[in-house]
Structure 1
Amino acid sequence: MGLISLLWGIVAMLWMVVALIPLLGWGNWFLIPFAALGAAIAALGIAVTRPERRGRAKAGLVLNGLVIVVAVVRLNLGGGLL
């Protein structure tokens, strides 16, 4: 679960970089639910994994959370309208 969430976060981060390009801000509307699903997978991974093996799941949770925050800020700036 941890590896899946980490890879999910990396894909979301790459998608976020593309969505920062002008006229591609509409991608944030799809990015937020995608990253939220990755964060849910990471939370599930944290819940079911032994404490000494939670590093990847925690990293995936942080990465997906960061992507969600940046995408929401980008949409609040009006970048999601074009």
Structure 2
Amino acid sequence: MLNILSFIFGLVSLVIVIPATIPLLGWANWLALPLIAIGVILGQLSSSKGGRNFCLIVLLVAAIRLSLGGGII
């Protein structure tokens, strides 16, 4: 059950992160980061690690975009 919740948090975060790759929408990554963190925690508590790994990939994409934009833009 926790793995499914982790996937759901990851999908919601991915829906936020994908448009945030457009210039001047990078601030949306800051909205996605808490959701990604919750997804990673739920995935870690689960016996299956698929949801956690998916959230970590989304976190990597968001972190790269934030670093390219200087953290704000």
Shorter chain as denominator, the TM-score bin is 0.7 to 0.9
- Give the Cα–Cα distance (whole angstroms) in 1 for the partners of residues 51 and 20 of structure 2: 20
Of the two, which has the highest radius of gyration?
Answer: 1
Using CA pairs below 8 Å that are at least 6 residues apart, which structure has the higher relative contact order? 1
Q: What residue is the counterpart of 2:17 in the other structure?
A: 16
- Structure 2, gaps ≥5 residues long: none
Q: Percent identity?
A: 38
TM-score using structure 1 length = 0.77
Which runs of 4 or more aligned residues in structure 1 lie more than 3 Å from their structure 2 counterparts after TM superposition? none
TM-score using structure 2 length = 0.85
Q: Whose helix fraction is larger, Structure 1's or Structure 2's? A: 1
Which amino acid in 2 is paired with 1:78?
G
Aligned residues: 72
Deviations 1:28-61 (A, max 9, x none): 1121221011100111112xxxxxxx2xxx2211
CA RMSD after TM alignment: 1.4
